[in-house]
Amino acid sequence: MTNFQAQKEVVQAYYAALDGAVGDSVEQAMAGFVSPDYRWRGYYPFGELHGAADVAEQFWAPLKSALTRLQRRQDVFMAGTNEVDNHESTWVVSMGHLMGLFDAPWLGIRPTGKIAMLRYCEFNRVEDGKITEAAMYFDIPHLMVQAGQNPFPPQTGAEMIQPGPLPHDALLFDAQPPEEGEKTLAAIDAMISDLGQWQSGLPLEEELARNWHDDMIWWGPTGIGATYTIERYAKQHSGVFRAAFTDRSKTSHVCRMAEGHYGGFFGWPNFTARPTGGFMGMPATGQAGDFRVIDIYRREGDKLAENWIFIDLLHFWKTQGVDILERTTGIGG
């Protein structure tokens, strides 16, 4: 299949209903679009939820009560078949920010009464006109920083409200040439293959240059931050990360897809690694931890140019014995 318009229309209608719902109407809005056995994977502390009622009650209704006048500000919207299951399933992806007025506490994070923006990316699997499963990762630490409750030590990359793609052309509401999606998926696959288990034998910057433009941008999550150019990415994240971990497992994804010049993937988890060198200002535990990650990419020519990353750092640190959310929100509470 090369045309995903029907699946896109389902998700667009779902978002219109969900974004307009408040209070008790959230579950009803969801129920019209998700299957009875709907499976939702979310950022810590939510984890895996099942059915519209659970997702509405535990995630959407509290979030909408905290961030009032909520807007969905999309930067990427695309669809494609899943390479992981031999292109049997179709997924629709949305990335951007949920913006509202931070008027009430959420997860113990103090309200500011000001605009707040929650970075998010969501993968939706659409089957027979219904959304049957989803993965929605969001940057809770980024929201905490906006509320003056930074949960992490100084980070190696830059902290900011992150923009969408440089060309501003990633809202793919219309069908895209299938050959462009194939090129993007091939570029992502080549990058994953080169990444491997960090055993290419090449100097890091040379390894990165095989798949990335020199002026690449890596839009990393709060706690790590954003970096620009291969040289700074190597110094400010990739090299730091590789020095901090050993025994990286092979990469595993639930979905990997592309449309046009954009593509991405998610895992549950994507990989495991054992911290042995200290990371994010925290000492190494020597205990392997899970990395649940969403990556979204922009391809330019035959190489990757931009990458938006959502890492469930709260979950990772929980596997290391530290509840970052509880520790931070409990201060001065």
Backbone angles phi, psi at 148, to 5 degrees: 80, 20
198 pLDDT above the threshold of 80: no
Q: Looking at the structure, do residues 325 and 182 belong to the same domain, yes or no?
A: yes
User: Which residue, of 96, 126, 146, is where some domain finishes?
Assistant: 146
CATH code for the domain in which residue 197 is found: 3.10.450.50
Higher pLDDT among residues 197 and 85, named by residue: 85
User: Which residue, of 96, 130, 146, is where some domain finishes?
Assistant: 146
Within a domain: residue 235? yes
315 pLDDT above the threshold of 70: yes
> Angle at CA 160, nearest 5°, toward 213 and 267?
65
Mean pLDDT of all residues in 124-146 = 98
Q: Looking at the structure, do residues 62 and 124 belong to the same domain, yes or no?
A: yes
Q: Looking at the structure, do residues 222 and 294 belong to the same domain, yes or no?
A: yes
- For residue 62, the enclosing domain spans 5-146
pLDDT on residue 134: 98
Within a domain: residue 17? yes
| Mean pLDDT value across the chain | 95
Within a domain: residue 293? yes
80 pLDDT above the threshold of 70: yes
Within a domain: residue 57? yes
Query: How would residue 197 be classed by pLDDT, with cut points 50, 70 and 90?
Result: low
| Counted domains in the chain | 2
Q: Looking at the structure, do residues 127 and 229 belong to the same domain, yes or no?
A: no
Under a CB-based contact definition with an 8 Å cutoff, are residues 246 and 274 in contact? Answer: yes
pLDDT on residue 2: 72
Mean pLDDT of all residues in 60-81 = 98
pLDDT on residue 82: 98
Q: Looking at the structure, do residues 44 and 90 belong to the same domain, yes or no?
A: yes
CA distance 223 to 154: 8
Percent of the chain with pLDDT over 70: 98
Q: Looking at the structure, do residues 222 and 277 belong to the same domain, yes or no?
A: yes
Q: Looking at the structure, do residues 63 and 126 belong to the same domain, yes or no?
A: yes
pLDDT on residue 78: 98
Q: Looking at the structure, do residues 55 and 129 belong to the same domain, yes or no?
A: yes
Within a domain: residue 86? yes
Q: Looking at the structure, do residues 248 and 138 belong to the same domain, yes or no?
A: no
Q: Looking at the structure, do residues 190 and 320 belong to the same domain, yes or no?
A: yes
251-309 pLDDT, tens per residue?
999 999 999 999 999 999 999 999 999 899 999 999 999 999 999 999 999 999 999 99
C-alpha gyration radius of the chain: 19
Q: Looking at the structure, do residues 78 and 204 belong to the same domain, yes or no?
A: no
User: Which residue, of 124, 146, 168, is where some domain finishes?
Assistant: 146
Higher pLDDT among residues 323 and 199, named by residue: 323
